[in-house]
Structure 1
Amino acid sequence: MHGDDQVGEGVPAELAVFLRGAVDGRPVTIASSVCAGCGGRAFCVLVNSSGAERECSGCGSRAFIADSEEYWNEESWEDDEPCAAGCPCGSEEFEAAVAFSLGDDGSVRWVTVGMRCTKDGFCGIYADWKIDYGPTDHLLTMV
């Protein structure tokens, strides 16, 4: 882990380490996905190269990760239609966390979505995209 990293409550340790290893050398803030409706931490997730949308396995509530909703439309999908994330074991249910890579000024520069399979613990990076606008503080709460 980088000395300036911040890992939020509830992020599985192996997923935090995996995310840290998958991003560049910049400091990161890692936050766990938690359903606002029921507090659940298991999700089915649709992903493409420009975003991710999660659906709570407990209550079915849906939420976009970071700024995904802005790019979640058929025009943006031309050759990149979202598909269900899947584990090599066949499961489609995950714990999710996001690593926000931070620039020198503390703004979010990159969003990396990591997931840990609830069935076998496999960790993977399922989506990541660059942020090239500001301000970005609102993204840190959209996990």
Structure 2
Amino acid sequence: MDEGLRAQGRTRRLALSGTKGVVGRCRDFSRDALTDWKWIPAADDEQQAVVEDVLLLVSEVVTNACLHAGGPRELMLNCTDERLRIEVTDDSPVHPRPRPSCDASLPGGHGLIVLARLARSWGSTPRGRGKTVWLEVASPLSGVPARGRPRP
């Protein structure tokens, strides 16, 4: 990675409106950014798994914005040598929270479980009249697995 990426990271933003086709657009946008940042092609199976996790996480947070907030307004990716931060901003002030009784055998309601398992950290912060849901994964190029556990 170049010095600019180490120092401040690189940021990509995608302005969004509505819900039609937005999940696929966000995945494509993220895949293009990961390619530019040399995450793709992955050097090994572990790095490929991180890339697939990132694309799944983007899909989850964008889908949640579509289902619960009228659609996302912006996707922001910020990549440094150490981590990738993903932010999805929407117009709903309601912060995500797990469903109280999520039946594992039924579809839906599992997105936050996926976030908790795959992301190193995640949360939401107020932004304007809405909020930003954010998550971070460790860069596969940093030597730290995406879920924050040190490698053996």
- Compute the TM-score of the two structures, normalised by the length of structure 2: 0.36
As a proportion of its length, which structure holds more helix? 2
As a proportion of its length, which structure holds more strand? 1
Between structure 1 and structure 2, the one with the greater Rg is: 2
User: Which of the pair has the greater relative contact order for Cα pairs under 8 Å at 6+ separation?
Assistant: 1
